[in-house]
Structure 1
Amino acid sequence: MLDFDLKSIIASTASVSTIIQFLTGTVVCIEIVKNKSTADMSSLPFVSGCLSTSLWLRYGFLIDDTSLILVNTIGATLFFSYVVTFYLYSIRRGTVMQQFMFCMLLMSMVLFYVHNQSDIEEARTHLGLICCLVTIMFFAAPLTSLFHVIRIKSTDSMPYYLILATFVVSCQWFIYGSLLNDKFIQIPNFLGCILSAFQLSLFMIYPKDRKIGTIVI
């Protein structure tokens, strides 16, 4: 009974935290619309987020987990809207479209395989592995600006609040995965804790210049 209650509490708090994390993208989009440009922002976090939430949504249906289904339905919707916003104001629309189409092709192939797989347990294992890899890519996306950060010795090009939210959320889902004894939820979120903790450490080494108002993701 205690285990069930703990599982329910962690699932609820992790779900709320994840939705809040997803909503941080609206801050970035508001800034994009306000400036009418994406400047030097990368579209990869948005695109990988769209792919990640879509695949986890399918995984949630596969294992019949209400928390995963709810969170990733909201997440997939939000990230798709972020990608559309980014595309409309990007100076590199071709790159955005290529990334998005590649992710949609990959997602279609995975979903087609899962739908036509007669062995449900095997489908769950394969989809879980793919979800792990895509989630790790999502967590590591802000690292694309790592060399730029080190070169200019400034973290102004890194989304602090998104990274902080990622750290909190990945810790919660790691605990939830441990309670479910689901390694596909445990592994990517454990790595998410490590990656986001490393990125947060950069803000201590290279503090943000508060005078600069551009938000970059």
Structure 2
Amino acid sequence: MSLPTYDVLLEATAVVSTVLQFLSGVIICRKYIQKKSTGESSGLPFICGFLSTSFWLRYGLLTDEQIVVLVNIIGAFLFLCYTMVYYIFSVNKKSFLREFGLVLCILFGVWYYTDSIEAEAEKIRLMGIICCVITVCFFAAPLTMLVHVIRMRNSESLPFPLIVMTFLVSVQWVIYGVIISDTFIQIPNFIGCLLSLLQLCLFVIYPPKSYSGQGYRLVDQSPIF
């Protein structure tokens, strides 16, 4: 029996690590179920995660990249489940439904528009640009916490395990993007690597002052896809 190539190993580890990152939402939803309420937390990360993975799923189908299709089918399903759990325990269902409805309109609108484009290369280019923009925006979202960290000179509020996971997953997808020569996969994940490194540097510059209370509390992180 021949040994797996490095490409196959990279694909397997990239899928596993990305799915594990997606599964971080289970911890958040478990808290909602236990409290029977979402409290003041926002369900937007779940909705945006569903939009992002759906777009990347579309991109994977257009480029015939089976690994991209696989990981984002799983991601879209998980984020849809998280969205449903959030809705069930949401304290403001009407507002949440409006947000989800808007995201569905965007999703179907982009899907319909790309279908109307005859040139396959143009479809892929447009979908790639959309995926890049959305992924970079999601990567940049946690940076709002950096102002708080710098002001307080304390990195306790940053989720160290999730930042490390984001960095490792981004590195894997950058390498995969280089192997298949896909710029649209390389760019957003390279930016994700840099932003994750920036956040990790804060743990060295402003080490956590305490490990009690809300230290390393879990916050929503941007999905890779």
| TM-score normalised by length of structure 1 | 0.86
CA distance 1:155–1:79, shift in 2 (3 Å): farther
> Which structure 1 segments of 5+ residues have no match?
none
Taking the aligned partners of 2:42 and 2:181, their CA distance within structure 1 comes to 35
Taking the aligned partners of 1:153 and 1:91, their CA distance within structure 2 comes to 34
1:22: which partner in 2?
22
Please list, as runs of the form range in 1=range in 2, the aligned pairs for 1:1-217 lying within 5 A after superposition: 5-155=5-155, 157-204=157-204, 205-207=206-208, 209-212=210-213, 215-217=218-220
Report if aligned partners of 1:31, 1:215 keep a CA contact under 8 Å in 2. no
- List 4+ stretches of structure 1 deviating above 6 A: none
RMSD: 2.4
Q: How many pairs were matched up?
A: 214
Q: CA deviation at 1:84?
A: 2.1
Taking the aligned partners of 1:148 and 1:86, their CA distance within structure 2 comes to 27
Sequence identity (%) = 43
**Letter of the structure 2 residue corresponding to residue 190 of structure 1:** F
Question: Is the partner of 1:30 in helix, strand or coil?
Answer: helix
CA distance 1:53–1:161, shift in 2 (3 Å): same
CA distance 1:37–1:154, shift in 2 (3 Å): farther
Taking the aligned partners of 1:90 and 1:206, their CA distance within structure 2 comes to 35
Question: Is the partner of 2:5 in helix, strand or coil?
Answer: helix
Taking the aligned partners of 1:208 and 1:113, their CA distance within structure 2 comes to 51
CA distance 1:96–1:200, shift in 2 (3 Å): farther
Report if aligned partners of 1:174, 1:189 keep a CA contact under 8 Å in 2. yes
Taking the aligned partners of 2:105 and 2:13, their CA distance within structure 1 comes to 33
